[in-house]
Chains A and B, each alone.
Chain A
C-alpha cells in the first residue's frame, strides 16, 4: 500500500542538515551537497565558462563548509545565499588570477554571420538551439558585474534579496544591474544579427 503523501515528513531544511552535518552526520552532508552542488556548479560555469574552474569552485565551497571557516550566520541570510557568496568570491579570485574576464565584444564567428544576416529578428529564435547558444555566448561576454547578476537572478532564479546578500549590495543595485545587463544583452543580440560588414543589408533569399 502506498504511503499517504500527506503523512510524509517534510524534507530537512538546509539549516537542519547543516546542524546534523556539524555533529558528524555523513548522510546529512551528502544530502546537503546533493541538494546544493548543482546550482553552485552552474553558477561557477556561467561565470568562468570553464568546467575545470566550476568543479574546483564547487569543491572549495563545500570544503569551506566542512571546515566551518567562513562563519555562516543563519540570521544574516540563507545557507544557499551564503554558499553562492563563497562561490562568487572564489570565481572572482580565479578570474582575476587568470585575467580571463572578457569584454562585451562581438566574437565574429562566421558561422553565426550567415544565419544572422538572414534573420531579421534576433529574439524570434530564442526558442531554437542556435538562438539559445547565441544568447548563452552573449551572457558569457557580459562584463563581470552584469554577468553575475544575470547568472544568479535569471539563470539560477535567485530572488533579488538573496542576490543582494550574495553580491553584498542593496536590492536596488541588483535591479539596476539586471536592468542594464538585459539592455546590454538585447544590444548584443541585435549587434550579432546586424554585422558591421554587411551594414543594413538584409538579404531574404540566397540564390546561389
Chain B
C-alpha cells in the first residue's frame, strides 16, 4: 500500500491517540506524523464538544412548547396567571383611584347652584309645557326638558348649575353630533328642581 492508497482509506476517521498505528503508518514516518496530527485534532474536537456539553435551550423554550402542546392536545392551560394579570389589576385600581380623585376635584370646583333668574324662568316657558323630544333645533339656546323628568311646578323654586358634559350627551336630546367630536366637552346649564333632580338642560356651546 502506498501513501495515496493509505489516505484513501481515511485512517484519521478511525482510532484515537495512543491506538496502534495502521501497518502503513508504522513503516512511513511522514504518514505516521500526519496521522498523529489528525488524531490530536480529533482529541481537540472532543475537548470543544466537552466544553459545550452543558449548553442547552433556555427554560422559556420548554414553557412555550408546553403551551403549544397543550393547545394542540386540547388540554386546558396551566392555572398560573398570565403575565399581564397583575398589571391589569394594578392598572384598574389606579384608574379607580384616579377617577375618584377627578370626581372629588370636579365636585369641589363645581359652582354652587344658583337660584333661577327671571330671564331663565322665562326661558323655561312653564306655561307652554315641555317641548317634545327631538325638537332640539327649535330649542336652540333654550332649556330642553330631560326625558322622563318631572315638570318644574310654577311655584316651585329651581336652581341652575353650570356643568361640562361630553358633547355626545347632546345626541340623546336630538342634537346632531359629529362622530369625531363626541368626546369634546361642552358647557351646559342644568335646571334642578327643589328635590335636587335635574329637570332641564341648556347647551351653551352647540
Nearest B residue to A62 via CB reads B65
Q: Which of B12, B44, B49, B64 is the most central at the interface, judged by chain A CB atoms within 10 Å of its CB? A: B44
Q: Mark B24-44, 1 if CB is under 8 A from A, else 0.
A: 000000000000011011111
Q: Shortest Cβ distance from B29 into chain A, in angstroms?
A: 17
Q: Which of A33, A46, A150 contacts B65 (CB 8 A)?
A: A33
In the complex, are the beta carbons of A154 and B75 less than 8 A apart?
Answer: no
Which stretch from A78-86, A97-105, A177-185 is at the chain B interface? Answer: A177-185
Residue B55 lies at the interface, judged by CB distance under 8 Å to chain A: yes
Nearest B residue to A59 via CB reads B61
Within 8 A of A (CB), among B5-32: 10, 12-13
Residue A94 lies at the interface, judged by CB distance under 8 Å to chain B: no
In the complex, are the beta carbons of B61 and A37 less than 8 A apart?
Answer: yes
In the complex, are the beta carbons of A179 and B12 less than 8 A apart?
Answer: yes
Within 8 A of A (CB), among B61-105: 61-62, 64-66, 68-70, 72-75
In the complex, are the beta carbons of A123 and B44 less than 8 A apart?
Answer: yes
Nearest A residue to B12 via CB reads A182
Known: A63-B65, A156-B49, A157-B49. A37 touches B10 (CB 8 A): no
Q: Which of A46, A66, A139, A157 contacts B72 (CB 8 A)?
A: A66
Q: Which of A41, A67, A136, A154 contacts B42 (CB 8 A)?
A: A154
- The A contact surface, by secondary structure, is helix
Residue B51 lies at the interface, judged by CB distance under 8 Å to chain A: yes
Chain A residues, CB < 8 A from B169: none
CA distance A136 to B52 in the complex (A): 10
Which stretch from A10-18, A24-32, A107-115, A197-205 is at the chain B interface? Answer: A24-32
Nearest B residue to A46 via CB reads B52
Chain B residues, CB < 8 A from A38: 55-57
- The B contact surface, by secondary structure, is helix
Residue A54 lies at the interface, judged by CB distance under 8 Å to chain B: yes
Known: A66-B72, A154-B45. A45 touches B55 (CB 8 A): yes
Q: Which of B38, B47, B55 contacts A182 (CB 8 A)?
A: B38
Known: A26-B70, A126-B44, A179-B13. A59 touches B57 (CB 8 A): yes
Chain B residues, CB < 8 A from A26: 66, 69-70, 73, 75
In the complex, are the beta carbons of A179 and B10 less than 8 A apart?
Answer: yes
Residue B48 lies at the interface, judged by CB distance under 8 Å to chain A: yes
In the complex, are the beta carbons of B49 and A154 less than 8 A apart?
Answer: yes
CA distance A139 to B42 in the complex (A): 12
In the complex, are the beta carbons of B57 and A30 less than 8 A apart?
Answer: no
Q: Shortest Cβ distance from A94 into chain B, in angstroms?
A: 16
Residue A189 lies at the interface, judged by CB distance under 8 Å to chain B: yes
Residue A169 lies at the interface, judged by CB distance under 8 Å to chain B: no
Residue A135 lies at the interface, judged by CB distance under 8 Å to chain B: yes
Q: Shortest Cβ distance from B55 into chain A, in angstroms?
A: 5
Chain A residues, CB < 8 A from B48: 132, 135-136, 139, 155
CA distance A126 to B42 in the complex (A): 10
Identify the 4 closest CB pairs spanning chains A and B, nearest first: A126-B44, A38-B56, A123-B40, A154-B45
Known: A33-B65, A66-B69, A155-B52. 19 other contacts (CB 8 A): A24-B74, A26-B69, A26-B73, A29-B69, A38-B56, A45-B52, A55-B61, A59-B65, A67-B72, A126-B43, A127-B47, A132-B51, A135-B44, A136-B51, A139-B45, A154-B45, A175-B13, A178-B10, A186-B38
